[in-house]
Structure 1
Amino acid sequence: MSTDFQTARIALGARLRELRTEAGLSGKDTAERLGWQRSKVSRLETGKQTPSRDDLKAWAEATGQPDAAAELQGRLQGLETQYRTWRRQLANGHRGRQELAVAETSRTRLTRGVEVARIPGLFQTADYARHTFIANAEFRQSPRDTEEAVRARMKRQEALYETGRLFRFLLWEGALHALVVPRPVMAAQLDRLIGLIGLDTVELGIIPLGAALRRSPAHGFWIYDDRLVTVETIDAEMWLKDADTIALYERAWDWLSESAVYGHQAHRLIARARAALDLG
């Protein structure tokens, strides 16, 4: 969980505690009024649990300050904008999130990204994307809309061929060898990467496993112009928009790019990974 998100959740919890104490209520009193377990009141006040909008409305009413509900819900909206759980985003399948990605890509001139364990969605073949969506739906136990999601991801890739856009991506060499799909599918995917190297809108750098690093590629992230950074975790996706955070991720991207190889050197690493598949 991001430090910024947790800090904001703790601040929201402190505001809830303030409302309770102003009303002269103990934690036990509040729990009884709301019909909750005492532990829930404690978790909300200490920032260990994210409240729902209904929780906040009920809290404001229970503490005798119903007008505070709008303020509390506004704080929650700020949290949800930054920290979007996959359970909520994939409630109806993957297509909706892919269509959102299409929209973000269409309004972006410069897209930068780092991936450490998989091929970026913008560069995936349909088969690679298909296997990825199926596995992800199984893992998250979300509805399957595989073909619709694949079509949306392929539509997003149309931006790669539009004049005036630039896609600068760094790929950790290990991602070239991560067999998250069958070997023939991976072989076709690596061929696809090789074909992208000569595209004038794409700058693909591979970070060799043995490269000297100013900073390790701890996790993947995407930067959209200078207005948005997205970061995926196992349970959520963070949308980070404040200037200082964006600048930090831009510095991380710059430092990692110093260790990457491009052009024929990148081609050689991709070809080596393909040869290692040993398809016979």
Structure 2
Amino acid sequence: MSSPSSRANEARHAVASRLRDMRLDAGITGRELAARCSWSESKSSRIEHAKTPPSDADIRAWCAACGVPDQAGDLIAANRQADAAYVEWKRLQRTGLKRLQESGVPLYEQTRQFHVYASNVVPGFFQTPGYATALLSSIAQFRGTPDDVSEAVTARMVRSHVIREGEHRFAVLVEESVLRYRIGDPEVMAAQLGYLLSVMALPAISLGIIPFTASRQAWPLETFTIFDRLRVHVDTLAASITETQPSEVALYLKAFGNMQKAAAYGGDARSLITKAIDELGD
């Protein structure tokens, strides 16, 4: 796994390469592009070689000069996230888990439409205190973070108020495997699965379960959350990745839509959850 600094460097070079390819596709030289943009030829060279990061205005001018102004949005988003897209969990969690839970509150509160796909654990805002305690304890132990699990669990429960308050809507997909993974003891799991049954009745929530046996167009992916169709957070073992490029967000929305077709809803989803509860004692 590459480091955040190397990933950021790769992202900057990717933007530079896309700008260079755009100029070549347009059939113009660096000198001609500079003239069209009213800046020096050396500036064009520095941008193309990732020595000088372009501003939003630079990217808009570059795209316009190459006759593809519609591509500016994606490139601007890619350029902005070059340093921020890949953030090590170690850095996010260096002061413990509580602050990380609290840091997400503004984004959760301002988001109106959530698309959530969970392939490994129950989504955070659906977690019970017992389940969250078991999960965050494992994370703290694995990462060697300061032990503030109880405070972090409280913060996570407070953050979860968005499922009951405000004008928020949640489209949630959970793999059936999530119902089976034992996070905590059977009693904790039974309470968690029972809580899933209760949140399904909330008017703001659409919860689908993707059965093991479902015929599917999209394979299981890393857990991700889409906020208002504008940004995606993807959780990996090593890092939290943020995508804001419209084309990348559209890709995750497409995957979500494909997986929705394989999901069970309503009574069928409840049957999958109750079956998992019944088999906890096996």
Q: Bin the TM-score by the shorter chain.
A: 0.7 to 0.9
For residues 151 and 105 of structure 2, the distance between their equivalents in structure 1, rounded to whole angstroms, comes to 13
Which among 62, 87, 94 is matched to residue 97 of structure 2?
A: 94
For residues 87 and 115 of structure 2, the distance between their equivalents in structure 1, rounded to whole angstroms, comes to 21
CA RMSD in angstroms, aligned pairs only: 2.9
For residues 103 and 245 of structure 1, the distance between their equivalents in structure 2, rounded to whole angstroms, comes to 23
SS of 2:115's partner is: strand
Deviation at 1:224, TM superposition (A): 0.4
For residues 11 and 232 of structure 2, the distance between their equivalents in structure 1, rounded to whole angstroms, comes to 23
Whether the aligned pair in 2 keeps the contact of 1:106 and 1:159 (CA below 8 Å) is yes
Q: Normalising by structure 1, what TM-score?
A: 0.74
Tell me the alpha carbon deviations over residues 102-132 of structure 1, each in whole angstroms, 9 at most, x when there is no partner. 2211010001111111100010001110111
The 1:240–1:184 alpha-carbon spacing in structure 2 relative to 1, beyond 3 Å, is same
Whether the aligned pair in 2 keeps the contact of 1:102 and 1:153 (CA below 8 Å) is no
For residues 99 and 171 of structure 1, the distance between their equivalents in structure 2, rounded to whole angstroms, comes to 24
> What residue number does 1:122 align with?
125
Q: Which amino acid aligns with 1:9?
A: N
> What residue number does 1:181 align with?
184
1:276 aligns with 2:279: yes
Moved more, 173-182 or 78-87: 78-87
For residues 107 and 180 of structure 1, the distance between their equivalents in structure 2, rounded to whole angstroms, comes to 30
Alignment of structure 1 residues 128-147 onto 2, 5 Å: 128-147=131-150
Whether the aligned pair in 1 keeps the contact of 2:114 and 2:170 (CA below 8 Å) is yes
Number of positions where the alignment pairs a residue of Structure 1 with one of Structure 2:
225
> What residue number does 2:48 align with?
none
Please list every run of 5 or more consecutive structure 2 residues that lacks an aligned counterpart in the other structure.
15-50, 56-77
Tell me the alpha carbon deviations over residues 37-96 of structure 1, each in whole angstroms, 9 at most, x when there is no partner. xxxxxxxxxxxxxxxxxxxxxxxxxxxxxxxxx957x99984331001001000001111
> What residue number does 1:110 align with?
113
Whether the aligned pair in 1 keeps the contact of 2:96 and 2:147 (CA below 8 Å) is yes
Deviation at 1:219, TM superposition (A): 1.6
The 1:77–1:147 alpha-carbon spacing in structure 2 relative to 1, beyond 3 Å, is farther
For residues 80 and 146 of structure 2, the distance between their equivalents in structure 1, rounded to whole angstroms, comes to 25
For residues 259 and 233 of structure 1, the distance between their equivalents in structure 2, rounded to whole angstroms, comes to 24
SS of 1:180's partner is: coil
Deviation at 1:9, TM superposition (A): 2.3
1:9 aligns with 2:35: no
For residues 190 and 161 of structure 1, the distance between their equivalents in structure 2, rounded to whole angstroms, comes to 18
Deviation at 1:97, TM superposition (A): 1.3
For residues 81 and 105 of structure 2, the distance between their equivalents in structure 1, rounded to whole angstroms, comes to 23
Q: Percent identity, please.
A: 33
